[in-house]
Amino acid sequence: MAKTFWEALQNRRSIYGLSDEKVVSEQRIEEIVKDAVTYTPSSFNSQSTRVVLLFGEQSKKLWQITLDTLQKLVSPEQFIETEKKINGAFASGYGTVLFFEDQTVVDGLMKGFPLYADNFPVWSQHTNAMHQLVVWTALEAEGLGASLQHYNPIIDSAVQTEWNIPATWKMIAQMPFGKPAFTPSEKQVADMDSRVKVYK
């Protein structure tokens, strides 16, 4: 990796301007995603997270689906700005990572451990969030920018049909990535004393 873990974590930002210039190979990005899925922890070792990785035209297809869906839901005036944002910040990138949770796994845990049943959907979200952070930080370490989007559930059905996604996979988020087209501003951090308490 070009950066250490902590450097990547510190530099990670939501990048809303992406180009499709190849900073690293598709093979390397595939390795990152597979390593994240392999090594990121999950409650009860459930391994419930599922990922779909889209490159190039497949990624652009996802964002066109999103635009086509939104055009039916927002006013023409709103759509102008929406189209500009999606085409310039998401569809313009190198690819998109789609994050899902397999509800078959979650339901199985709920039935198998009824004492904790109410917690498994929550823990499933925690599991997915950890995968998102690992992938995002690893992409940053390779010099790529990304952001996290949530156009689900309005695009779920079309995505499921287009890429033959199992009905039991619940979409959680979309992560467009690519070469950053600008340098983000410094992150504003809230007062640490109000967020962390230390006792010795």
The 10s digit of each residue's pLDDT in 54-85 is 999 999 999 999 999 999 999 999 999 999 99
pLDDT surpasses 80 at 102: yes
The total number of residues shown for the chain amounts to 200
Q: Given this model, what pLDDT does residue 30 score?
A: 98
What number of CA atoms fall less than 13 Å from residue 10's CA on the CB side?
5
Q: Given this model, what pLDDT does residue 157 score?
A: 97
Question: Over the chain, what is the mean pLDDT?
Answer: 95
Q: What is the mean pLDDT of residues 143-169?
A: 97
When mean pLDDT is compared across 27-36, 151-160, 176-185, the lowest value belongs to 176-185
Burial status of residue 22 (CB atoms within 10 A of its CB: 0-12, 13-18, 19 or more): middle
Comparing C-alpha atoms, which of 108, 107, 154, 150 is closest to residue 129?
150
CB 200 within 8 A of CB 115: no
Comparing C-alpha atoms, which of 45, 21, 13 is closest to residue 183?
13
Q: Given this model, what pLDDT does residue 182 score?
A: 82
Q: What is the mean pLDDT of residues 40-57?
A: 97
Q: How far apart are CA 17 and CA 178, in angstroms?
A: 9
Q: Which residues of 118-140 are buried (b: 16+ CB within 10 A; e: fewer)?
A: eebeebbeebbbebbebbbbbbb
CB 148 within 8 A of CB 132: yes
Q: What is the mean pLDDT of residues 88-97?
A: 96
Q: Given this model, what pLDDT does residue 184 score?
A: 79
Q: What is the mean pLDDT of residues 176-192?
A: 88
pLDDT surpasses 60 at 144: yes
Share of the chain above pLDDT 70, in %: 99
Show the beta-strand stretches assigned E in the chain.
Answer: 18-19, 49-55, 95-102, 145-146, 169-180
Q: How far apart are CA 111 and CA 134, in angstroms?
A: 29
Q: How far apart are CA 118 and CA 172, in angstroms?
A: 19
* Cross-strand partners of 174: 98, 149
pLDDT surpasses 70 at 1: no
Q: Given this model, what pLDDT does residue 2 score?
A: 63
Q: Given this model, what pLDDT does residue 187 score?
A: 82
